């Protein structure tokens, strides 16, 4: 018997004890009553179509005719503004073999970047879990990318590097536009791939402090710490335009 098989023997002995114990009806009963089955949470789905853009704050043609997701759920615990007062926006997504692209169109009537904290400035945040493990604390494939309405880039998380993002912002009537390109390193860049995603808008109503957060999915200020409640992002090939039927003669 070598050292390895001794260890294995000890392990299976421990396991049999463990299994025997969890199978005891008393214990199963106790566990059931202590932990009521929680309702299955719905995971929203965003879709990114295949395509490439120039990151310059000008809205490329490739963005036309794509569906957008809305970033409008208020995070009550962090907001003094009401949901109707808070900055809100829409996000369209594209991908290619290198990057994930996002176009943000934000409605925010009072633009400000005077807060010391980058998240206190009018800004947008994209959170990504490339392997979609929704594992909680950030791992190497998880990152938080932030871009202010002035185009300043910041971020955090194990997977964050300023080298992985290019962005441009532009003020428009009633708000601002942000284009982002985020380099993908872990996710499969192929149709059908599923990544974890959350989207956030920070709003300073010209007080020098954040007055509201709005989100795409989970209305808590937790996405910078945990990937658990991210939504799903599915990479798709853009649908081909239906072929024109041959004219009858």
Chosen residue from 133, 156, 232, 236 binding ligand BGC by CB under 6 A = 156
Stretch that binds Ca ion, among 50-58, 172-180, 202-210, 216-224 (CB under 5 A): 202-210
**Size of residue set near ligand BGC by CB under 6 A:** 8
Cα separation of 86 and 160, whole Å? Answer: 27
- Give least dist CB 100 to ligand BGC, A: 18
Instruction: Give, as one character, the DSSP assignment of residue 11.
Output: H
Of the candidates 101, 119, 138, 149, which one interacts with ligand BGC according to CB under 6 A? Answer: 119
Burial 197-207 (b: 16+ CB within 10 A, else e): bbbbbbbbbee
Is beta strand 231-235 parallel, antiparallel or unpaired with respect to 45-50?
parallel
CA 120 to centroid of chain Cα atoms: 19
Q: Within positions 97 to 126, which residues make up the interface with Ca ion, using CB under 5 A?
A: 108, 110, 122
- Which partner, ligand BGC, Ca ion, none, binds residue 224 by CB below 5 to 8 Å per kind? ligand BGC
Which residue shows structure tokens 């932030």? 146
209 near ligand BGC, rule: CB under 6 A: no
Phi, psi dihedral angles at 45 (to 5 degrees): -120, 130
146 contacts 123 by C-beta, under 8 angstroms? yes
Least distance CB 170 / Ca ion (angstroms): 15
* Interacting residue with ligand BGC among 57, 221, 228, 234 (CB under 6 A): 221
| Shortest Å distance, C-beta 203 to Ca ion | 5
Token look-up 């536009």 returns: 177
63 binds ligand BGC (CB under 6 A): no
Q: Which of the choices Ca ion, ligand BGC, none does residue 138 contact, using the CB cut-off of 5 to 8 A by kind? A: none
224 binds ligand BGC, rule: CB under 6 A: yes
Residue 38 class from Cβ within 10 Å (0-12 exposed, 13-18 middle, 19+ buried)? exposed
What's the sign of the alpha-carbon dihedral 105, 109, 113, 117?
negative
Cβ-contact 195, 187 below 8 angstroms? yes
Among the listed residues 129, 179, 203, 229, the single contact to Ca ion using CB under 5 A: 203
- Cβ of residue 202: shortest distance to ligand BGC, in angstroms? 7
Asked if 220 is part of the footprint of ligand BGC (rule: CB under 6 A), the reply reads: no
Return the half-sphere exposure (C-beta side, CA atoms, 13 A cut-off) of residue 178.
31
What's the CA gap between 230 and 23, in Å, rounded? 34
Q: Which residues bind to Ca ion, rule: CB under 5 A? A: 108, 110, 122, 203-204
Q: Which residues bind to ligand BGC, rule: CB under 6 A? A: 119, 125, 144, 156, 200, 213, 221, 224
């Amino acid at each position: 018997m070598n050292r390895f098989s001794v260890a294995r023997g000890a392990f299976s002995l421990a396991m049999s004890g463990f299994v025997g114990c969890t199978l005891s009806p008393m214990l199963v009963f106790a566990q059931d009553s202590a932990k009521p089955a929680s309702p299955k949470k719905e995971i929203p789905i965003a879709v990114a179509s295949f395509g490439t853009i120039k990151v310059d704050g000008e809205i490329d043609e490739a963005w036309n005719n794509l569906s957008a997701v809305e970033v409008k759920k208020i995070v009550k615990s962090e907001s003094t503004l009401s949901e109707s007062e808070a900055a809100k926006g829409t996000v369209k997504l594209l991908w290619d073999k290198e990057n994930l692209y996002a176009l943000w169109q934000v409605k925010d009537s009072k633009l400000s970047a005077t807060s010391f904290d980058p998240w206190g400035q009018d800004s947008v945040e994209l959170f990504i879990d490339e392997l979609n493990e929704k594992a909680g604390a950030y791992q190497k494939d998880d990152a938080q990318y932030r871009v202010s309405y002035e185009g300043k880039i910041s971020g955090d998380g194990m997977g964050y590097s300023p080298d992985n993002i290019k962005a441009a912002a532009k003020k428009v009537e009633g708000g601002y536009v942000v284009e982002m390109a985020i380099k993908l390193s872990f996710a499969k860049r192929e149709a059908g791939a599923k990544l974890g995603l959350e989207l956030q808008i920070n709003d300073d109503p010209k007080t020098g402090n954040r007055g509201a957060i709005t989100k795409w999915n989970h209305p808590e200020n937790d996405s910078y710490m945990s990937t658990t409640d991210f939504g799903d992002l599915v990479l798709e090939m853009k649908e081909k335009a239906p072929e024109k039927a041959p004219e009858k003669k």
